[in-house]
Amino acid sequence: MPGVTTKQVGTVEEAINFRRALIKRNWVGAAHAGVSQGKWLAPEARSSPVIIPNVQIESELGPRPSLEKARIIYSSLREAGIDFAAYVPDSANYLIQRFAREDSQIISVAATREDDALAMAMGGFMGGRNPVVIMEASGLGLCSLALSILSHEQRLGALILYSHNFALGEVRSSHACTRWIADPLFDALMIPHMTLTDIKDAPLMIKQAWRTVRGQMCPVAISLPLDVIWDE
Amino acid sequence: MNRWEAIEIFNQLRQDAIVVHGTGGMGIEINTKSPSDLNIYAPMPYPTPVGLGMALALPNRRVVITEGDGSALSGISGLATIANMAPTNVIHIVWDNGAWMSPGTMGTRSHYGPMPTASGGRTDLEGFAKAAGYAHTTTVTTLKEFEAALRAAIATNGPSYLVAKIGRKLMPDLPAKPLGTVEQAIRFRRGLMERGWISSSHAGVSQGKWLAPVDRSEPIVIPKIEAETESGPRPSVEKARIIYSSLREAGIDFFVYLPDSANYFIQRMAAEDPQVTSVSITREDEGLAIAMGAFMAGRNPVLILEASGLGLCPLALATLAHEQRMATLILYGHNFALGEVRDVHACTRWVADPILDALRIPNLVLMDVKDAPLLIKQAWRSVRGQMCPVAVCLPLHVLWDE
């Protein structure tokens, strides 16, 4: 364009202006946009009770994803207020992702890449939804750009659940990327992250992690080791 | 059509083709029904770019890229790069069952309920390849059609894209073979070396020889790039020439880049240099995988990008570099501390040094363009000797005139 000016793009100011514009139009709540403290602690107003889909699978012996554990984790997400799930299917989280897919009360999106899923979730967050991204740890290796620009610069948040763990139960060589990229990258990017070591802790940990996402407007990641989501 | 039966046909026809395969049950079926030291693993979304790098590095050898529909969709932007580079030796086979098959069958013979991929919905994979510009595309649904299409692809110049519609079944008694092991990568290197396709010094199995200058049949000629002279801060043609000459003198002969404002003239020299292979890409992680594929197949690559693009690269850096010892030199524009006047480049300080440090990738800053010949030569030696990526940061003052 002739006479184009040197305007800055992608600034913090632009993101703040955008949030305020959504609030002023009443398209998102002030609590969600991070401009009013405290209210987000209250349970979401729900027009209908949470109903967890009835997912069935054939029962077999041996190590495999546990339907019951997946139900506990999925229920924890829904009870915490999550209403937007983006995922790239993976073997460990498969049943959690199936619950999301079959849940007509939420928006669920199967993505082609993990950074794609993360950016969608963050867009959902900016637009007033309560998103989770569910993926295999390897996919975090595509997400650093989104985690830095969208998260740090523009304060777009999302809860992240990722399967596999840097130390526990990793029997396959091809999953070595988990120990290279999951915890080291979160530490490098200063993204809060922790491991769910006991399925009984899922409701508490997920609720509190989501509160941090909302309050801090930053991603929070939870690792799901195989023993937490599989039956032996 | 069952995939493993089609792979049996493929095995009869493949001869000495390099096979870059993706993950999941498909990768295991390939290594069971068509085992070879010329099989190499690349996780999604990297079968496509790793295969392209190898195909460009070994233009007289057939390279078959084979992956599932989920993997193909995750690397879809790479189709445009393959189509525009137009390697005649590439056959790209996508096994399309319209579902995330392997995730739903892990540890069991039963499927845990279908989750369709986009190709199980409205998306036409062959249509993507055709629109990208592949020389030949086809979709087959029977073993007979598969065999005919594969024979046709072998008989003609590619790149060819073959979508095989298959059933949602894994091979009976599928063994639990590990994929992406260090052992497989070593066997692959030795396979190329023993056939005389790459030299032993490049494959990292003999020490010292790589220190010798690269044999050159012709002198290096640096392309003449002209830019209008203007006052004020802007990229310097002269500085770009020093850096580009340093790369060429060090032996770099394979350039992969995503154009960016700071590195633009270096990239233009690569684009206009008929003595090298240069590849303009769609995403930085795709470029990294192309460069690493070329390295594995005997070339001397550099990836030139803006620092922000490193934020897409940790998966390739972890899996391809650390596990399979695929390497490349990396030059990236911008710096975590020096001369960063635009807010939008804040991602440099978040993603460049912190990520390279977290992944233990050697990285350093070129502070003075006079040091470019030495720094680049020595960095490249480390890439070859250590078979690991080395990254060199180019702050704006090193690339631009004030």
Q: What is the structure's pLDDT at B213?
A: 52
Cβ neighbours of A8 in B, within 8 Å: 342-344
Q: Look at B109 and A84; give whichever has higher pLDDT.
A: A84
Lowest mean pLDDT among A17-26, A193-202, B126-135, B310-319: A17-26
Report the residue from B45, B310, B343 with minimal CB separation from A113. B45
What's the rounded Cα separation, in Å, for the pair A183 and B269?
39
Residue B108 has pLDDT above 70, yes or no: no
Element (H, E) at A189: helix A176-189
Residue B146 reports pLDDT greater than 60: yes
pLDDT of amino acid A49: 86
Asked whether residue B337 carries a pLDDT value surpassing 90, the answer given is no
Residue-wise pLDDT for B155-209, tens only, equals 999 999 999 999 988 888 777 777 888 888 989 999 999 999 998 777 655 555 5
| B161 and B20 Cβ atoms separated by less than 8 Å | no
Let me know if residue A143 belongs to a domain: yes
Interchain CB contacts (distance < 8 Å): A and B:
168
The whole-number pLDDT of residue B171 equals 83
In a mutational test of the B interface, the residue from A14, A69, A148, A172 whose CB has the highest number of chain B CBs within 10 Å is: A148
- ipTM for the whole complex: 0.85
Q: Do B351 and A144 touch (CB under 8 A)?
A: yes
Q: Which residues of B touch A9 (CB under 8 A)?
A: 344
In which residue ranges of chain A is pLDDT below 70? 33-47, 58-63
Q: What does the alpha-carbon distance between residue B48 and residue B35 come to, in Å, rounded to a whole number? A: 20
Q: Find the CB nearest B179 among A147, A152, A174.
A: A174
User: Per-residue pLDDT for B29 more than 60?
Assistant: yes
Question: What does the pLDDT look like over B63-105, one tens digit per residue?
Answer: 999 999 999 999 999 999 999 999 999 999 999 999 888 777 6
Instruction: Look at A89 and B358 and tell me if their CB atoms are within 8 Å.
Output: no
Q: Which of A12, A58, A174 sits opposite B180 (nearest CB)?
A: A174
User: How many structural domains comprise chain A?
Assistant: 1
pLDDT digits (tens, 9 = 90+) for B274-305: 999 999 999 999 999 999 999 999 999 999 99
Range of the domain at A207: 63-231
Look up the CATH number of domain B213-401: 3.40.50.970
Residue A23 to residue B24: CA distance in whole angstroms: 45
Residues B192 and B56: beta-carbon distance below 8 Å: no
- In a domain, residue A160? The reply is yes
CATH of the domain at A221: 3.40.50.970
Residue A52 lies in a domain: no
A12 within a domain of the structure (yes/no): no
Distance from B92 to chain A by nearest Cα, in Å?
A: 19
What pLDDT does B214 receive?
55
User: A46 lies in a domain?
Assistant: no
The string of DSSP codes covering B196-244 is TSS-TTTTTSSSSGGGSPPP-SS---PPP------SSSEE-HHHHHHHH
CATH number for the segment(s) B3-180: 3.40.50.970
Contact B115 A101 (CB under 8 A): yes
Question: Is position A94 within any domain?
Answer: yes
- What is the rounded average pLDDT for all residues in chain B? 91
Q: Among B130-134, B170-174, B332-336, which is the least confidently predicted range?
A: B170-174
What gap in Å lies between CA A202 and CA A75, rounded to an integer? Answer: 9
| Interchain contact, A141 vs B107, CB within 8 Å | no
Q: Is residue A199 part of a domain?
A: yes
Q: How confident is the model at residue B225 (pLDDT cuts 50, 70, 90)?
A: confident
Indicate the residue of B113, B323, B358 with minimum beta-carbon distance to A98.
B113
Per-residue CA distances from B294 to A118, B103, B195 (Å): 30, 30, 17
Q: Where does CATH 3.40.50.970 sit in chain B? A: 3-180, 213-401
